[in-house]
Amino acid sequence: MPEPTWTETQVAAKRAVPDGLWTQCPECGETIFRKSLEANLMVCPKCDHHMRISARRRIEQLLDPGTFEPMDADMAPMDPLGFVDQKPYIDRLRETQRKSGEVDGIQTGTGFVKGRKLVVGVMDFTFMAGSMGSVVGERLTRGIEHATDHSLPLVIVSCSGGARMQESGFSLMQMAKTSAALARFDDAGGLYVSVLADPTTGGVTASYAMLGDVILAEPKALIGFAGPRVIAQTIRQELPEGFQTAEFLLKAGFVDRIVHRAALRTEISRVIDYSGK
């Protein structure tokens, strides 16, 4: 019987390693053991790159175990415009729902952070780039109103490409609706902590993401309205180094503090205690 070739041995060894056991950091290229990465909150141990995570994983990391109680989880998007680009919007929705296991791009509900009860809204970039459609806006508005009615602190974690173009004006209306709800929440003396993850852009940045009483950001998060290439082409100037990063916005006074993902629970609980809410 002939000896196996080197190529055959390589293929056999590769098959012996289960898929998904290792992952590669998109920032530095480091190959990381998947379970070690998850234990490190999906932050690269070599370069400290904060990887994008789903809303459900974020909730598991942020809230005390077993305390999350979802709100409006069955609220599903519709296609009032019959929108079609490369495929019908309704087909795109169904495909994304099947792949992600989610109804839409946000999770809202109540929970506890180190024993402090609050209302939380977490956007999900894995669902159509976390775009803000009617369901995202309505769920957030109801969450804000629940926080207002029950005098609870509010935490919203933004991670979004902006307004959902397939819903056109219906999506843009959510900017005004959520902002108005936050104004009523503020009038009632509520505390709103806005957490900006990578990326926070478009209509989300132009509305509720930047309206927090305290605005926290993850390291190196992309934060802005239009993309840097669009801005550079519009003003016909070279943009400063690090433009639209969390660090740049901190220096400009648009962000209050940059917080490592591992310290986020502690920071939010401290803000709540300091505010007395």
- Annotate 204-227 with DSSP letters as a single string: HHTTGGG--SEEEE-TT-BB-SS-
Tens digits of residue pLDDT in 54-90: 999 999 999 999 999 999 999 999 998 999 999 999 9
Residues 47 and 160 in one domain: no
pLDDT band at 239 (very low <50, low <70, confident <90, very high): confident
The last residue of a domain, from among 51, 67, 91: 51
User: Do you know the residue count of the chain?
Assistant: 277
Range of the domain at 17: 1-51
Q: How far apart are CA 101 and CA 244, in angstroms?
A: 32
Which pLDDT score is estimated for 232? 87
Tens digits of residue pLDDT in 162-171: 999 999 999 9
| pLDDT greater than 60 at residue 40 | yes
Residues 153 and 229 in one domain: yes
Residues 91 and 226 in one domain: yes
Residues 45 and 97 in one domain: no
Q: What is the pTM of this model?
A: 0.90
Residues 41 and 56 in one domain: no
Q: In this structure, what token pair is assigned to residue 50?
A: 């904060």
| pLDDT greater than 70 at residue 19 | no
Tens digits of residue pLDDT in 209-230: 999 999 999 999 999 998 888 8
Residues 17 and 116 in one domain: no
Residues 82 and 175 in one domain: yes
Q: Which residues on adjacent β-strands are paired with residue 1?
A: none
Tens digits of residue pLDDT in 191-205: 999 999 999 999 999
Residues 139 and 177 in one domain: yes
Q: In this structure, what token pair is assigned to residue 68?
A: 């999350």
| Nearest by Cα to 165 from 196, 202, 198, 139 | 202
Residues of the chain above pLDDT 90, percent: 85
Beta strands, E only, 88-239: 106-113, 116-123, 154-160, 192-200, 214-217
Residues 35 and 157 in one domain: no
pLDDT band at 151 (very low <50, low <70, confident <90, very high): very high
Q: Looking at residue 265, which CATH number applies to its domain?
A: 3.90.226.10
Residues 217 and 159 in one domain: yes
Mean pLDDT within 137-160: 98
Residues 35 and 123 in one domain: no
Q: Could you tell me where the DSSP H helices lie in 18-120?
A: 34-39, 55-62, 89-100
| pLDDT greater than 80 at residue 9 | no
Number of compact structural domains in the chain: 2
Chain centroid to CA 110: how far?
A: 17
Residues 152 and 235 in one domain: yes
